[in-house]
Each structure stands twice: as C-alpha cells, then as structure tokens.
Chains A and B, each alone.
Chain A
Amino acid sequence: MDVEELKKRIEEALGGLVKGIEEGKGFIDVIVDLDNIVEAASRLKELGFDHVKSLTVIDYPKENRFRVIYHASSYLDEELAKYIVGIGADVPRDNPRMPTLVYVWRGVEFQEREVYEFFGIEFTGHPDMRPLLLVPQLAEAKPLRKEFIVKEEPIIRVKPPTG
C-alpha cells in the first residue's frame, strides 16, 4: 500500500468530513472541522489506527488560531503500521476549547493534560482536567504560547555562595 492508496482509503472512510489533506515528507495531516473531530477520529480508529503516538499544538498568533494535531498509527495492522497519520483541527485562539478524544483513544489522556497546561486549550469532557507537569501557578501563565516571554537572565551572574 503506497501513500496515494492510503490517502484514498482515508478519504473514503472519512467521507465529507475532510477539509483538507496536507502532505509533507513522510507524513499526512488530515484537517477536519472542530465539530467533526470526534466523529473523524472514531472513523480513523475503525480503519485500524488504534493508538496515538503524539499530540502536538502549533500556535499561530497572527491568524488567531491553534492547530491541534493527533498523530495516530497502528500496532495491529501491519500495512498501516508503516504510516503515521495526523488528524487535526483549528482551534480559535480567543475561545480555546475543543472536544476531548479520550473516549476514542484512551492513551491521549495525559497528553491532553499536558497541552492544557502549556497552551491553555481546554478539552471539554476530559475526565481529569488538571495540570500534569507544571505547578498550577505556572500553568496559568501558559508558557508555550508565543506571547509568554521568558524573563531574560544576564549571562554573568552573581557568584553562588561558596562553602
């Protein structure tokens, strides 16, 4: 099965949900509408993509949107296991909410918590929406958004107390 065939199968499975397919070097990103993402994800799962390898978010402050992409692949289907397919949606920046995919792929629970603390995107319906790695005060600042500015420290510091 080559890439063209995979693309055709995914388009058949998803039907009219597909808004656009972005193709890069060695990967395919399927972009759908935000309202359809749960439906599209469950159809992808029926096709054989049984787990999510990673969950990534890109911040586009000028276009006022986040792009959230779930990278799905397969363990059980040998043909599909060669490919990683991204399924993503655009989330508006002023109202960062999207439906959770925990009930489609169980494994994304912690990754969605991580996205929540770093970007502030709330996943509606998530069973445990708390910060995962950061302390809560820091999670409120949403450190991976582009408007978060790290306090620059000077290169030459005061010498630490020597014993």
Chain B
Amino acid sequence: MDVVKLILDIIFYPPIYQLLLIGLVGSLVVVIFILWFERKATARVQRRLGPYHVAPRVAGFPQLVADLVRYAFQEVIIPRTVDAGIFILAPIVATILSILPIAVVPLTSNPGYWPVPMDYSVLVALAISTVSPIFLILAGWASNNKFSIIGGVREAFVITAYELIAILSILAASATVLSFNFVDVVEAQSRIWFIILNPLAFLAAFLAVLMATSGFPFEIPESENEVVAGPFTEYSGLLYGLNMGAAYMKRFALSILMALAFLGGWAPYTPGEGILSGYLIPSIIVIAKATVLMMAFSFTRSVYGRFRLDQALDGAWRLVFPMAILGFGLALLEAYLGVV
C-alpha cells in the first residue's frame, strides 16, 4: 500500500500532474490536431484533398494516429557506427525537456492550483525551454552521419540567433508589469492584451518561436532537399517519432508561454474556486489560445519557401533582434508611463 500511496503522492504533486495532464495528454491531442491541420491546410493551398480515406466522415482526422501507431510498431534500427547510448537517449531527453516548461507555468490565478508558487516563473520557464536544442545537436553528432552533423551544426547556428530574441521579447511582457510572475503578467492584461500594447515584441517572439521549432520559413536544420533529414537522418521507428514530436511539443510549450505573455492567458475568464472553475477552464482557454497560435505557425508551412541559413541568420540579427530590443524599450516606456 505504501507504494501505491507513494505513486499517488508523486502523481498529485502539482508540477507533476500539470506536466502529465497539460503537458503529455494536452500536447498529444493538440499536436495530433495541429499536424492534421498542417497537412490539410497545405493540401488546400495546393488544391489537393489531403489525408482523407483513412476516415472519410471526419476528413481524415485520425491520419496522425495511424502514422504514430505505424511508427511505434516499426523496427528501430541502431546502426553499428553510431554512439548508441547518446543515440537512444538524446531524443527521449529532448522530448522531456521540450514540455518541461509547462511544469512551472501557472495556468490559473487561483493559488491553490499553481504548480510551483514562485515569483520567477517567466524566467524559469524560459530558462528550461533553452536546454532541449543541445540534445538535438547531440543526436546529430551521435548519428555519425555527414548529413546529421551538418544538420546539428545548422541547429547550433539557429539557436544562437533565436534564443536571445525569444527571451528578450517574452521578457518585454514582464518588463511592462515589473514582475517576473506569469500571474501578474496575465492579470495586467484583463483590460487590454499585450499584443496590442506591444506588437513589436509579439512579432519578434512569433518569428523566434518559428525559428526555435523549425517552422517553415526557417526549417533550416532538417531541410529535406539539402540535408536528408538533418539531425534525424539515421533515426527510424519510435525514436524518429519522438524526435518529430519533440519539435511540436516545444512549439506547444512556447505557444503557451506566448499565449500567457501576449494573448491575455485566461483573460476573459476569472478563475474561481473548485477544480473545474479554478483550474480546468482557465487551462483550456490558455490551450485554445496556444492552439490558435500554433495554427498560425503551421499555416506558414504551406505559403512560404525556405530561407537559406545565411539569409535567416542575417534577418535574425539585423532585423528581428533590433525589433526585439525596440519592443523591450517600448515595454519599459509603457511601464514608466503606467499604461497598465
């Protein structure tokens, strides 16, 4: 009985259940929806039908379920030339780290349902979100394949470009309210959202998240007609599914951060008491806003071409980075004038 009690204690420890409920279940559902939307939107832009015959009544919605099950039951090939330990561990750790920011983000203003009651949730969540790319580089390096190594190096280049922008532009929101706590940031947006007050920072954050998760105009590390599948060239079966899922889960986590920082979080709704009104409804509102953001990210796939590496880095440093700094300055100005 002690073991059961211990497991229950672990599961109902607030950061863990937030990670399990929102992080794993929520992100799985959202990612399945987003991938279906991405393929369907691309097909519609190209005047095709997209995935259909797998379930004609719901327009092929279970297509991603089929792909996931197929990947899960395929052979996992570990070539003799790879560094096997890192080769297996890297995608697993990258996937875990991709959704770990959700464990510290408060999704309600009811203090009883905060995962970790602290005043620095913005900083901690951003700090955790910057760790996972290292494991993608490791995956590329451990694969011992020239395409993987080129992809890993490209990933490293892109990280140096986007990380500063993402952090600066999301911190602009907390600079406006002079607090590192997401709850303060969201409650300051009850009248007017920060996307209207500070569109520069929102745009910079949008571009930075696209770069961070290999969104299409910046899908440089795994651009299939230059380097076969980038760092994932040697991966097969479930490990490749994890690798692909890690990018989308990271996009989900960063979209939640953006939804809290710019789109007002649970803004039209005021969380009350009880688990339904205090936790689930605000969480679902935040996830819905994040899903809308992810749909915008996905739509860029069907309408843009891919930048070259040098073009993306040039744009990031010359255009988006000054934009993020301007957005931060705007946030400080608004804080000085006391707009919110």
* Contact, chains A and B (beta carbon distance below 8 A): no
